Amino acid sequence: MAQQPVLVIIGAGIGGLAAGVYAQMSGFETHIFEQHTIPGGFCTSWKRKGYLFDGCIHDLAGAGSNSPLNHLWQELCPDRLENIHYHDVITQVEDSHGHHLTVYANIDRFEAHLKSIAPEDAGVIKEYCAAARYFLAHDFYALQEATPADFLQWFPHLPFLFRWGRQSLEQVARKFKNPFLREAFPKIQYNFAGCPALVQMGFLAAQHKKEMGWPAGGSLAFAQSIARRFTRLGGQLHYHSRVRKVLVENDQACGVELEDGQQQRADWVISAGDGHTTIFKLLEGKYTNKFLRHYYTCAPDENSMNLQVSLGINRNLSGLPRAIFYHLEQPVSIAGHEVKDLEIEIYNYDPSIAPQGKSVIRLLSTSPYSYWNALGYGSEAYQQEKQKVADAFIDLLLQRFPDIRQDIEVVDVATPITSERYTASYHGLQAWYPEGQFGRILMKGISPNLPGLKRFSMTGQWSNGMMGINSVAITSRNLIRSLCKKFKMRFETTG
């Protein structure tokens, strides 16, 4: 038998793990090197005194068996699909005067609710919900795997897609006469400022069809399942193995060197780790272009959801929506960021998250990396600031749940430095979009390959520039399929 080509993959986030599974199924000899002691990267959870705090999945695209993306998870981690929770309510936007806008996962119910809040806006509401229903027949998430032939089917609908793709939720909101809807509507899709209406509609339709949901057990269990699949297929997963250099000969990648000096040779190297580190450290900035230099020079100081306060609550919070977006009467400055709304996520639907009769609340916010870095990780000032941040968020939570303080048993704060340490991501950031570059990144990604470097690819969020474990898994699947062609092997998705 001919020798198997050797693949080395940097990073065991979902991107790296998915690449590893497809590579093993297709007959490569695959080594994944992961700096951490567990798999998952950003897709993670952590246990504190019996409570499980989750750092990632709100919604898993492709969870439902009717989803066109379901095959991905059937291929990668079928056991995680056995217990999916589908939400009836996506989120509830509230203000301090008792108004609330409930975003039902069912479009008809959502429409009726909107009209009950603002009968005067019935026309705009009808038009919006009709447009969302378009995605019941044309799957938004299927676009991620669309072939040129599939795109042809969408072609006649381009004017519709452009119309709603160019309009943000803020712009839609301005059409309402009702003052509460004008205020609340832009917040129906998490805290995603400038979110195109099209994205919310695709998401709403996927929730309506029960294509998206929460895999019981959460993010780390999800990643661990894919890691198990990889090793059972014979893949070699090396934890606690930080890559410090990509080995290159004659502008061809030929392996990696770990921090302890060990080397692993390879026929192809894939980086599924942080883009900035890969390009400017592991490859010393030798393979870049104008776009990449510009992209990484524009790194923001913060991106959304990079500060997380998790609370273990000795109370059964069932009956509440899974998420509440609570508009504060007065904005408050916390850890270098002006907090105007409290994003409250209530884990009251998965018994594995908290001991019986108890619940978890996660508060997501944003905070500048430089703010935390200046304090110095591990210093007393850093610890004190974490405590201060926890206290400030708990005070805000009391505005919505006045008597909850006595039930808070466990408090955990994860900062941008926490993300940097555990995911080795540059400043704890996820992929971002420099002004005016969203379209370019949507079409071409950030860096699936590097200019001038052969036998090397990237996958994951720094390759495609997209957020979402489904999109990084698709990118990895496509990459291994293309490598199979190069190495004249059959691309396999079972094993």
Ligand X SMILES: Cc1cc2nc3c(=O)[nH]c(=O)nc-3n(C[C@H](O)[C@H](O)[C@H](O)COP(=O)(O)OP(=O)(O)OC[C@H]3O[C@@H](n4cnc5c(N)ncnc54)[C@H](O)[C@@H]3O)c2cc1C
In order of 59, 177, 303, 384, the CA distances from 189 in angstroms are: 12, 20, 16, 33
| Position 424 contacts ligand X (CB under 6 A) | yes
Q: Which of 7, 25, 56, 344 binds ligand X (CB under 6 A)?
A: 56
Both structure tokens of 63: 């969870």
| Position 467 contacts ligand X (CB under 6 A) | yes
| Position 418 contacts ligand X (CB under 6 A) | no
> With CB under 6 A as the contact rule, which of the stretches 40-48, 67-75, 109-117, 443-451 interacts with ligand X?
40-48
Q: Which of 67, 365, 470, 478 binds ligand X (CB under 6 A)?
A: 470
Q: Which of 7, 9, 15, 324 binds ligand X (CB under 6 A)?
A: 15
Q: At its nearest, how many Å lie between ligand X and the CB of residue 341?
A: 16
| Position 68 contacts ligand X (CB under 6 A) | no
Which residue lies nearer to ligand X by CB, 35 or 359? 35
Q: CA 395 to CA 408: how far, in whole Å?
A: 12
Q: At its nearest, how many Å lie between ligand X and the CB of residue 333?
A: 21
Q: Which of 423, 447, 457, 478 binds ligand X (CB under 6 A)?
A: 423
Q: What residues from 305 to 324 belong to the interface with ligand X (CB under 6 A)?
A: 305
Q: At its nearest, how many Å lie between ligand X and the CB of residue 33?
A: 5
Q: At its nearest, how many Å lie between ligand X and the CB of residue 118?
A: 29
One-letter amino acid of 377:
Y
Q: How many residues does the chain have?
A: 495
| Position 33 contacts ligand X (CB under 6 A) | yes
In order of 30, 192, 281, 430, 442, the CA distances from 433 in angstroms are: 32, 13, 22, 10, 10
Max distance between CA atoms of the chain, in angstroms, equals 73
> With CB under 6 A as the contact rule, which of the stretches 55-63, 106-114, 122-130, 337-345 interacts with ligand X?
55-63
Q: Which of 19, 23, 28, 59 binds ligand X (CB under 6 A)?
A: 59
Q: At its nearest, how many Å lie between ligand X and the CB of residue 342?
A: 15
Q: Which of 26, 30, 35, 366 binds ligand X (CB under 6 A)?
A: 35
Q: Which of 469, 474, 479, 483 binds ligand X (CB under 6 A)?
A: 469
Q: What residues from 445 to 464 belong to the interface with ligand X (CB under 6 A)?
A: 460-461
| Position 185 contacts ligand X (CB under 6 A) | no
Q: CA 431 to CA 416: how far, in whole Å?
A: 14
Q: Which is it for strands 268-271 and 6-10: parallel, antiparallel or unpaired?
A: parallel
CB under 8 Å, gap of 24 or more: what pairs does 337-341 form? 337/302, 337/307, 337/365, 337/366, 337/367, 337/368, 339/365, 339/396, 341/187, 341/191
What string marks each residue from 243 to 262 as x (binds ligand X by CB under 6 A) or -? Answer: x-------------------
Site size for ligand X (CB under 6 A): 37
| Position 343 contacts ligand X (CB under 6 A) | no
| Position 36 contacts ligand X (CB under 6 A) | yes
Q: CA 21 to CA 235: how far, in whole Å?
A: 8
Q: Which of 246, 272, 324, 394 binds ligand X (CB under 6 A)?
A: 272
Q: At its nearest, how many Å lie between ligand X and the CB of residue 113?
A: 24
> With CB under 6 A as the contact rule, which of the stretches 49-57, 64-72, 292-300, 328-336 interacts with ligand X?
49-57
| Position 10 contacts ligand X (CB under 6 A) | yes
> With CB under 6 A as the contact rule, which of the stretches 20-28, 127-135, 383-391, 419-427 interacts with ligand X?
419-427
Residues forming the site for ligand X (CB under 6 A): 10-16, 33-36, 41-43, 55-59, 242-243, 272-274, 277, 305, 423-425, 430, 460-461, 467-470, 472
